Amino acid sequence: MEATRAAEASTFTPSFFDCHRHSPGEGGLYVLEEPWKQRPEKQFFTVGFHPWQLEEADFYARKARFRELVTAPNCLAVSECGLDRLRGPKEALQVEALSWQLQVAQEQGIPAVLHVVRGQDLLQAVWKSVGVPPFCVWHGCTLPPRRVEALLAYPFLGFSFGEALLRQPYLEESLRLIPEDRIFFETDASALPISRIYEKAAMVLDRAPIELNALTIANWNLRTSRPIL
Ligand SMILES: [Zn+2]
């Protein structure tokens, strides 16, 4: 009995909290692949209209399905959503889709994980139009220190670092600038184990990886109505 319970729990409790991953493996918040045919029954997942896959007719047709998924108790975030000036449909549709998704995230009391490529000005306008935005995580953070500093003015924004942290020395400084209650880590589409990212961040922040893991889980749980175990 005990063993069964532990085994069940292990599918929910990641060794290291991965706030954004595209492969459905064990642990972390996995992004349900579009067109969201099946809802994972037990596993935590996230759902969002990625700007790369956004199309006008499709967006309106799939809103109801999105709502259905996002209200599931094991759907932990609207992810990923965002703005991309280099790829994706026209700006107006991207803005409309993001605004709507942020409103739904706010209603559901769950965070939104953002993909932002050359769209910071638009994002700020969307936040303003939404009024009270949900907690947002800037995923795949490759922001230089001066841009991180400017974005810290938004108290509802966290930052998630992935594989780039191992390759780009300037990101170490960006990471050090962020108050620790707004830090997250992710693998995104990388095959690198999430533990490698925690190990690197632990070196940068002079902390133990396990302490950082407890920190990111606490950070997440603080910002959601659907805490992870
Ligand atoms: Zn992603």
- Evaluate whether residue 173 is within a structural domain: yes
Residue 9 pLDDT class (50, 70, 90 cuts): very low
- Evaluate whether residue 12 is within a structural domain: no
Q: Rounded to an integer, what distance in angstroms lies between the CA atom of residue 86 and that of residue 62?
A: 24
Quote the ligand 1 centre to 166 CA distance (angstroms). 17
- Evaluate whether residue 227 is within a structural domain: no
Mean pLDDT of 36-47: 91
Quote the ligand 1 centre to 115 CA distance (angstroms). 7
Mean pLDDT of 175-197: 96
**pLDDT at res. 42:** 84
**pLDDT at res. 98:** 98
Q: Rounded to an integer, what distance in angstroms lies between the CA atom of residue 137 and that of residue 163?
A: 16
Residue 135 main-chain phi, psi, to 5 deg? -65, 130
Q: How many CA atoms lie within 13 A of 200 on its CB side?
A: 23
Domain interval for residue 188: 17-222
- Evaluate whether residue 166 is within a structural domain: yes
- Evaluate whether residue 73 is within a structural domain: yes
Tens-digit pLDDT profile for residues 102-136: 999 999 999 999 999 999 999 999 999 999 999 99
Peptide bond into 80 cis (omega under 30): yes
Quote the ligand 1 centre to 132 CA distance (angstroms). 24
Mean pLDDT of 26-35: 87
**In this model, does residue 74 exceed pLDDT 60?**
yes
CATH code, 57:
3.20.20.140
**pLDDT at res. 26:** 66
Residue type for 93, please? L
DSSP 52: G
**In this model, does residue 1 exceed pLDDT 90?**
no
* Rounded CA Rg of the chain: 17
**pLDDT at res. 227:** 95
Quote the ligand 1 centre to 179 CA distance (angstroms). 23
Quote the ligand 1 centre to 80 CA distance (angstroms). 6
Q: Rounded to an integer, what distance in angstroms lies between the CA atom of residue 94 and that of residue 224?
A: 25
- Evaluate whether residue 4 is within a structural domain: no
- Please enumerate in sequence order all residues whose Cβ is within 8 A of that of 100, keeping only pairs 6 or more positions apart, or say none: 63
Tens-digit pLDDT profile for residues 123-169: 999 999 999 999 999 999 999 999 999 999 999 999 999 999 999 99
Task: Provide the domain count of the chain.
Answer: 1
- Evaluate whether residue 6 is within a structural domain: no
**In this model, does residue 27 exceed pLDDT 80?**
no
Quote the ligand 1 centre to 1 CA distance (angstroms). 37
Quote the ligand 1 centre to 20 CA distance (angstroms). 6
Q: Between the CA of residue 67 and those of 108, 112, 117, 174, 210, what are the distances in Å?
A: 10, 14, 26, 35, 35
Mean pLDDT of 35-39: 91
Query: Quick one: which H or E segment has residue 137?
Result: strand 136-138
